[in-house]
């Protein structure tokens, strides 16, 4: 109903305890108070500052006096690039930041040597005070927070993420550190189960051993950090093999963790950095019998190979390997007849083309429900609005503050995407949006315009394949 939003807004304004009507007619406020800028009260205060004086009503995690600021977890607020000072500070960081040069040249022999050292360090780290292990994470979070724009700029340049996506990557990494630090401590507190005469039944968790972390390039700091610190804070030692496309930001994170470990006098060799090819060194790491845990995020083919390799148990292997394996997806968004099209259009557009659709959660299929079939009014209206909205996206370099869509991760990815676009055309699908609808900057061969095809069914390649 077109007028409903306006009606609701007026109802909220006129019934609010902070409304102009209440202040003027019930509270007898003076003219200066009534005409004062309502935003002046908290101007200049960031969400973190407001949090310090806010009531602690949230319960997103346990809290411990010795962990972090002793308060429950709260998410790291993202940058508001509409604010000039934040925009300018981030721009300076992008101009000055450089991606560390890291060669993916570690051999299988070097990787296995790291596993042996991590295995020797495991008993001391396993017995290290859980509070101190949590402190490592909160220290890493603090280091990331103090260098936040720099880290985001490195992510933007190395992984080709636009400003908001790069900032969100760093925020998520900070969140992982703060959240896991607060949750891990209670895992190592013995909990009594029942009270039975002559019995003492207790539950607690124990670290497993050496963890191999194989992280992806699409969240080069967030997921890399999340898998690594989760293993560390629970008492496992780690051999980290980052994605070959983004070893630079992983190296910066690794160095921060080393600093934090040193500051709490942790044992040496708790974490090892192993930039290397996945086909050789990565394959050797997951097959070593000293490995107890494998955390992987990446492609289906590699993930299934890891699962198969971990299923082979050697006689000298201390325990069965555990695998935490996150692979890709062919995700669909369903828009039914009752959907708010304003929200649906923006949600589908962002999910499909945010970070060029290079997320395991990206929308690659949109299913619109229309009682009158594919030619019904709901379908036509949604397609028209989604198409026109998508055409407003700006293409450019990831370091360009105006860009919405930047180049994909590398030439191989660009070639693969173009192959699927051509396959869709060859199979006779209707192309609603394509490169003809955008101004594509020169000198960016890996920059691919958003594409939308209709008339897709189960027989088409792009319906089935990621």
Q: Which of 321, 282, 271, 285 is nearest to 117 (CA)?
A: 271
Q: What are 237's strand-pairing partners?
A: 210
Contact between 332 and 463 under an 8 Å Cβ cutoff? The reply is no
177 counts as catalytic? no
**Active-site position among 244, 360, 431, 466:** 360
Could you write out the three-class secondary structure of 136-203?
A: HHHHHHHHHHHCHHHHHHHHHHHHCCCHHHHHHHHHHHHHHHHHHHHHHHHHCCCEECCCCCCCCCEE
Q: Which of 403, 397, 389 is nearest to 352 (CA)?
A: 389
Q: What are 295's strand-pairing partners?
A: 213, 324
325 counts as catalytic? no
The packing angle between helices 130-146 and 163-187, to 10°, is 170
Q: How far apart are CA 441 and CA 435, in angstroms?
A: 11
Q: How far apart are CA 326 and CA 71, in angstroms?
A: 31
DSSP structural state of residue 395 = B
Q: How far apart are CA 57 and CA 76, in angstroms?
A: 17
Contact between 197 and 143 under an 8 Å Cβ cutoff? The reply is no
Contact between 106 and 99 under an 8 Å Cβ cutoff? The reply is no
**Active-site position among 244, 326, 427, 466:** 326
Contact between 404 and 393 under an 8 Å Cβ cutoff? The reply is yes
Radius of gyration of the chain (CA): 26
Q: How far apart are CA 456 and CA 463, in angstroms?
A: 7
Q: Quote the tokens at residue 120.
A: 């020797």
Q: Which of 87, 91, 71 is nearest to 79 (CA)?
A: 87
The HSE-up count of residue 312 (CA atoms within 13 Å, CB side) is 8
Q: How far apart are CA 447 and CA 404, in angstroms?
A: 12
Catalytic residues: 326, 360
């Amino acid at each position: 109903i077109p007028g409903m939003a306006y009606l609701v807004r007026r109802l909220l304004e006129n019934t609010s305890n902070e409304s102009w009507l209440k202040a003027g007619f019930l509270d007898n406020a003076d003219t200066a108070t009534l005409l004062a800028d309502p935003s002046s009260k908290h101007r200049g205060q960031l969400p973190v500052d407001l949090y310090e004086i806010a009531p602690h009503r949230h319960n997103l995690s346990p809290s411990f006096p010795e962990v972090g600021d002793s308060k429950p977890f709260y998410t790291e607020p993202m940058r508001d690039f509409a604010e000039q000072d934040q925009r300018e500070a981030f721009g300076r960081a992008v101009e000055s930041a450089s991606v560390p040069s890291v060669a993916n040249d570690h051999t299988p022999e070097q990787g296995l040597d790291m596993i042996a050292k991590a295995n020797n360090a495991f008993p001391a780290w396993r017995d290290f005070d859980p509070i101190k292990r949590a402190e490592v994470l909160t220290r890493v979070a603090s280091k990331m927070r103090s260098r936040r724009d720099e880290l985001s700029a490195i992510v933007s340049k190395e992984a080709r993420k636009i400003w908001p996506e790069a900032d969100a990557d760093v925020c998520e990494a900070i969140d992982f550190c703060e959240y896991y630090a607060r949750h891990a401590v209670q895992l190592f507190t013995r909990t009594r189960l029942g009270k039975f005469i002559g019995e003492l039944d207790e539950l607690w968790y124990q670290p497993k051993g050496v963890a191999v972390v194989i992280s992806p390039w699409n969240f080069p700091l967030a997921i890399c950090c999340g898998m690594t610190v989760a293993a560390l804070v629970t008492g496992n030692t780690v051999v980290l093999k980052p994605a070959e496309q983004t070893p630079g930001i992983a190296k910066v994170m690794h160095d921060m963790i080393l600093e934090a470990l040193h500051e709490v006098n942790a044992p040496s060799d708790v974490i090892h950095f192993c930039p290397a090819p996945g086909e050789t060194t990565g394959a050797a790491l997951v097959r070593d019998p000293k490995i107890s845990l494998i955390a992987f995020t990446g492609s289906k083919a590699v993930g299934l190979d890891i699962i198969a390799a971990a299923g082979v148990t050697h006689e000298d292997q201390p325990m069965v390997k555990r695998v935490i394996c996150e692979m890709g997806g062919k995700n669909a968004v369903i828009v039914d007849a009752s959907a708010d099209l304003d929200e649906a259009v923006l949600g589908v557009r962002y999910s499909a083309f945010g970070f060029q659709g290079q997320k395991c959660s990206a929308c690659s299929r949109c299913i619109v429900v229309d009682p009158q079939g594919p030619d019904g009014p709901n379908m036509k209206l949604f397609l028209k609005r989604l198409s026109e909205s998508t055409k407003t996206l700006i293409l450019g370099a990831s370091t360009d503050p105006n860009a919405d869509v930047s180049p994909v991760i590398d030439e191989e990815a660009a070639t693969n995407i173009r192959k699927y676009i051509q396959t869709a055309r060859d199979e006779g699908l209707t192309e609603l949006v394509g490169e003809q609808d955008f101004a594509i900057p020169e000198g960016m061969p890996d920059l691919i315009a958003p594409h939308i095809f209709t008339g897709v069914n189960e027989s088409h390649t792009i319906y089935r394949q990621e």
